[in-house]
Structure 1
């Protein structure tokens, strides 16, 4: 990550430029792998519902934040069915504009549409039961990811959770010049989570994804 850290401005501006050229569709959000959307959502729902049942220490269902939300694919199919209110944050305004139509009548339960890169985004303290961060940590430098996770921790309600779901490389950090991102191995992700002062309370690998893409792991942090 050393070279990227030295040229942060270019790293972020290239990513913004890439996403501005991506069509605001589910297929666009998933890089041509639209067919995996239902597998992804079903896996995420099974993971999340472990924490939402009634009982001591369980996570509330009042408000969630969808980070790197795009057109709202995860908001529509995962978060709005489970939470009273959902906020979306994404760096591309066109995606957020599209989300208002894509979400249909349920868009009335969206609290806020924030247009911001996560490196600059400051979530409201104590607002969220769940902060869902999927397929976007590769667009943050190590230091910015650690700082963002710290801000997210302050934004949680009692018993709240931060969920990271993302590709992991087999070893080290693998840069992607096309969309100006990186893919980190699981040990590096865990070390950055630890640096942010968070603990991993549950971790799973997403199954039944195409074999040609990197493994996807889901981590619940608190």
Structure 2
């Protein structure tokens, strides 16, 4: 991917500039596809419920991290209903400020709001049962993604999981000039996960999304 991202600093700063101009709304977070939010959340809930609960090897429900959280759409509808505490990390301070309002009463169960790009973010060791990374890996270079996944692994509690949910291209790496991101195919994502020393414990495709957008796959990693 080195050739695609010619200048790492520009790749990141262009993305920050793009998001700075996006309205802090669900529709803004979803690039005009606000209507798919419920389908997305329901699919994610069904996916997560395979892991959490009582019993041997199950993932706990004390604390989750929402990566690229935006205004907290996923925190509000997926994570706060399932976890005691949720932390949010996003590169855009305005989104995090809006999250405090958008999350309403439940925002008192947010532990931390971190304003940071994931390439620079160091999650606290041993804090999280679930680290949820949705629609944001395209903003990381390959080496930064591998490094970040390694930091995530150290941040997990016993039986914790890292979840990546993202668009996958049909073949290779497809750049998006508009928001300064890239879309990788599934094989490339799997290879980067392996490079980070994680294994995929479950993987599925999100169904019922509009035909014109890239397929979305969800991967649970340990």
Q: Deviations over 1:84-116 (max 9, x none)?
A: 000000000000000000000000000000000
Aligned to 2:176: 176
Give, in whole Å, the separation in 2 of the partners of 1:156 and 1:86.
Answer: 14
1:14 is displaced (CA, Å) by 0.1
Unaligned runs of 5+ in 2: none
Moved over 2 A (4+): 3-6
State the 1:3 CA deviation: 2.7
What RMSD in Å do the two structures reach over aligned CA positions?
0.6
The corresponding residue for 2:82 is: 82
1:146 aligns with: 146
Any unmatched runs of 5+ in structure 1? none
- Given that 1:131 and 1:162 are in contact with CA atoms closer than 8 Å, whether structure 2 keeps it comes out as yes
Normalised TM-score (structure 2): 0.99
Is the partner of 2:207 in helix, strand or coil? coil
Instruction: Provide the residue aligned with 2:156 in structure 1.
Output: 156
Structure 1 CA distance for aligned equivalents of residues 127 and 58 of structure 2: 16
Cα deviation for residue 54 of structure 1 reads 1.1
Counterpart for residue 107 of structure 1: 107
SS of alignment partner, residue 16 of structure 1 = helix
d(CA) in 2 for partners of 1:4, 1:148: 20
Query: Following superposition of structure 1 onto structure 2, how do residues 57-96 of structure 1 map, counting pairs within 5 Å?
Result: 57-96=57-96
Give the whole-Å Cα distance in 2 for the aligned partners of 1:136 and 1:130.
Answer: 16
Can you list the C-alpha shifts for 1:113-170, whole angstroms capped at 9, x where unaligned?
A: 0000000000000000000000000000000000000000000000000000000000
For residue 33 of structure 2, what is the aligned residue in structure 1?
Answer: 33
Are the aligned partners of 1:4 and 1:11 in contact in 2 as well (CA < 8 Å)?
Answer: no
Helix, strand or coil: the match of 2:23?
coil
CA shift for structure 1 position 4: 4.2
Question: Aligned equivalents of 2:140 and 2:3: distance in 1?
Answer: 13
1:53 Cα offset (Å): 2.2
Count of aligned residue pairs for this structure pair: 222
Displacement of 1:6: 3.7
Give distance in 1, aligned partners of 2:186 and 2:68.
20
Q: CA deviation at 1:5?
A: 4.3
Q: Distance in 2 between matches of 1:156 and 1:5?
A: 30
